[in-house]
């Protein structure tokens, strides 16, 4: 997908409004940022604009203030973090539109960085209000969208502004689109999808869209319980989407029709309760007790999945393979993440919790691409358009 990028326009001495997604996790007591990976991901775009003598106006959302000013969700701590990472002052202002902000923008010099207040403090942002979009647009001469992870939102700073300014993609947006597009159009084969997560319903469209493109499908996480139940296995007290059992059977049939091996766990970690420090045991799927809960894939499944993935030249992973939030049930996910960091293949981590796990484990640099987008990545790989991407012009 070839969209115009910041390389394709002259930004020297121009006011450039850059939509980033710096919706980073904040400690509400200290204001500390526990994961700055989204900020680091947009540094190449910001540095390019600095080097090319632009006057930079950043805007982002932070959290879900629902159209009201929430003191704990002000953008200042994020601006401070960016300042430390880039080694330059970043001026965080108290609003994102209005005369005072226009005056601040007027004072910008080449290479200066102004960070607007949390755009979601205004209800007009999520409503994609055209007047609000125009107010943002009049601050700048050019619009750069580097917020792939918010590109599935029809919001004023994502879609609306692009109607009123020359609009291009930033380098992070370009990188995300190139990596995701390659999975859909020209992956190196064999190509495997490793999909986890809690619910089949969340990944139906992803699985159906990828089945015709992949060579192997491996399923784990909570959704595996529904597939195992559909095959007639006992799954104990595990959460089963009863309304998705027929769909699971249909997906099993579709995989067979596409001649794609759909590989499910062969052993599971079972606990009496999903809580810290509970007693667990590993059992083959034929021996799951009626009183147990499935909380992780077992060691034989880790070995099976690793052997299948070792054959592949492209691997896409989306979703944890157990109840990852509890360390005791995270071993299967962590083992496969470690394995993916060592394979001789293109490895694309499909955002959301999978990306958080990779960042937490310090494996980001060992993967080919770790997406910043959770919902956006999922929607893109489902084959659906992203409004924020559609709003940007194609290269001629």
The CATH code of the domain that includes 115 is: 3.40.50.1260
DSSP alpha helix (H) spans, the chain: 37-41, 43-51, 76-86, 99-106, 123-126, 130-137, 171-185, 204-211, 223-230, 245-257, 299-309, 331-340, 352-360, 375-381, 387-390
Does the N-terminal peptide bond of residue 190 adopt cis geometry, omega within 30 degrees of 0? Answer: yes
Q: Please report whether residue 393 resides in a domain.
A: no
Which H or E run includes 316? Answer: strand 314-318
The pTM of the full predicted model, rounded to 2 decimals, is 0.94
Q: Taking a C-beta distance cutoff of 8 angstroms, is the pair 163, 41 a contact?
A: no
Parent domain of 73: 6-172
Q: What is the per-residue pLDDT across 309-341, written as a single tens digit (0 to 9) for each? A: 999 999 999 999 999 999 999 999 999 999 999
In DSSP terms, 85 is beta-bridged to none
Q: What is the pLDDT of residue 201?
A: 86
Question: How far is it, in rounded angstroms, from Cα 18 to Cα 176?
Answer: 17
Rounded to a whole number, what is the distance in angstroms from the first to the last CA of the chain?
12
Q: What six digits make up the tokens of 85?
A: 């990472």
Q: How many CA atoms lie within 13 A of 173 on its CB side?
A: 32
Q: How many CA atoms lie within 13 A of 68 on its CB side?
A: 4
Place of tokens 């559609």: 390
Please check whether residues 188 and 134 belong to one and the same domain. no
Q: Taking a C-beta distance cutoff of 8 angstroms, is the pair 147, 20 a contact?
A: yes
Of 172, 201, 230, the last residue of a domain is 172
Q: Please report whether residue 259 resides in a domain.
A: yes
Q: Please report whether residue 1 resides in a domain.
A: no
Please check whether residues 168 and 88 belong to one and the same domain. yes
Q: Please report whether residue 269 resides in a domain.
A: yes
What's 5's DSSP letter? Answer: B
Q: What is the per-residue pLDDT across 251-298, written as a single tens digit (0 to 9) for each? A: 999 999 999 999 999 999 999 989 998 999 999 999 999 999 999 999
Q: What are phi and psi of 188, to 5 degrees?
A: -75, 130
Q: What is the pLDDT of residue 242?
A: 86
Please check whether residues 34 and 164 belong to one and the same domain. yes
Nearest to 42 by CA among 21, 27, 57, 26: 21
Q: Please report whether residue 396 resides in a domain.
A: no
Sequence-separated contacts (24+) of 63-69 with Cβ below 8 Å: 63/23, 63/26, 63/118, 63/120, 64/120, 65/118, 65/120, 65/121, 66/120, 66/123, 67/120, 67/121, 67/122, 67/123, 67/124, 67/125, 67/126, 68/121, 68/123, 69/121
User: Which residues of the chain fall below pLDDT 50?
Assistant: none
Helix (H, G, I), strand (E, B) or coil at 207: helix
In DSSP terms, 38 is beta-bridged to none
Q: What is the pLDDT of residue 241?
A: 86
Please check whether residues 91 and 236 belong to one and the same domain. no
**C-alpha distances in Å from residue 3, one per residue of 284, 311, 321, 326:** 49, 34, 35, 41
Q: Please report whether residue 58 resides in a domain.
A: yes
Question: How far is it, in rounded angstroms, from Cα 113 to Cα 254?
Answer: 52
Please check whether residues 14 and 154 belong to one and the same domain. yes
Please check whether residues 197 and 159 belong to one and the same domain. no
Please check whether residues 136 and 158 belong to one and the same domain. yes
| Mean of the per-residue pLDDT values of the chain | 95
Of 116, 137, 172, the last residue of a domain is 172
Please check whether residues 228 and 163 belong to one and the same domain. no
Nearest to 334 by CA among 307, 354, 351, 312: 354
Strand 142-145 with 167-169, pairing: parallel
**How many domains in the chain?**
2
Of 124, 150, 172, the last residue of a domain is 172
What's 350's DSSP letter? Answer: -
Q: What is the pLDDT of residue 34?
A: 87
Please check whether residues 208 and 347 belong to one and the same domain. yes
Please check whether residues 188 and 300 belong to one and the same domain. yes
Q: What sign does the dihedral 337-288-294-318 (CA atoms) show?
A: positive
Q: Please report whether residue 386 resides in a domain.
A: no
Q: Please report whether residue 391 resides in a domain.
A: no
Q: What are phi and psi of 58, to 5 degrees?
A: -95, 145
Please check whether residues 15 and 151 belong to one and the same domain. yes
Residues in the chain: 396
Please check whether residues 199 and 326 belong to one and the same domain. yes
Q: What is the pLDDT of residue 1?
A: 57
The residues annotated as belonging to the active site are: 38, 199, 352, 375
Q: What is the per-residue pLDDT across 138-154, written as a single tens digit (0 to 9) for each? A: 999 999 999 999 999 99
Q: What is the pLDDT of residue 281?
A: 95
């Amino acid at each position: 997908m070839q969209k115009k990028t910041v390389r394709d326009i002259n930004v020297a001495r121009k006011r450039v409004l850059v939509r980033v997604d710096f919706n980073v996790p904040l400690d509400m007591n200290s204001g500390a940022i526990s994961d700055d990976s989204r900020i680091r991901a947009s540094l190449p775009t910001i540095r390019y604009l600095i080097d090319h003598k632009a006057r930079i106006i950043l805007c982002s959302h932070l959290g879900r203030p629902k159209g009201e000013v929430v003191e704990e969700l002000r953008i200042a701590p994020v601006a401070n973090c960016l300042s430390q990472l880039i080694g330059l002052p970043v001026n965080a202002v108290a609003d994102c539109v209005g005369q005072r902000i226009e005056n601040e923008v007027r004072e910008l010099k080449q290479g200066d960085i102004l960070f607007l207040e949390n755009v979601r403090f205004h209800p007009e942002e999520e409503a994609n209000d055209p007047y609000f979009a125009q107010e943002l647009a009049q601050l700048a001469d050019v619009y750069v969208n580097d917020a792939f992870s918010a590109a599935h939102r029809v919001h004023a700073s994502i879609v609306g502004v692009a109607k009123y300014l020359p609009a291009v993609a930033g380098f992070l947006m370009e990188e995300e689109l190139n990596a995701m597009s390659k999975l859909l159009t020209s992956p190196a084969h064999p190509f495997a999808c490793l999909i986890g997560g809690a619910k089949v319903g969340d990944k139906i469209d992803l699985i159906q869209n990828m089945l015709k493109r992949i060579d192997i499908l491996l399923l784990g996480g909570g959704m595996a319980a529904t597939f195992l139940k559909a095959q007639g296995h006992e799954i104990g007290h595990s959460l089963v989407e009863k309304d998705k059992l027929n769909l699971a059977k249909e997906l099993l049939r579709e995989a067979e029709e596409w001649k794609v091996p759909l590989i499910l766990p062969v052993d599971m970690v079972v606990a009496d309760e999903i809580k810290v420090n509970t007693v667990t045991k590993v059992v083959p799927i034929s021996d799951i007790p009626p009183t147990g809960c499935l909380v992780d894939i077992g060691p034989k499944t880790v070995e099976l999945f690793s052997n299948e993935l070792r054959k592949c030249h492209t691997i896409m992973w989306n979703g944890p393979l157990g109840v990852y939030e509890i360390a005791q049930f995270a071993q299967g996910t962590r083992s496969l993440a470690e394995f993916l960091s060592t394979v001789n293949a293109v490895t694309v981590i499909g955002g959301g919790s999978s990306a958080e796990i990779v960042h937490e484990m310090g494996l980001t640099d060992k993967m080919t691409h770790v997406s910043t987008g959770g919902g956006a990545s999922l929607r893109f790989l489902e084959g659906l358009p992203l409004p924020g991407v559609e709003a940007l012009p194609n290269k001629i």
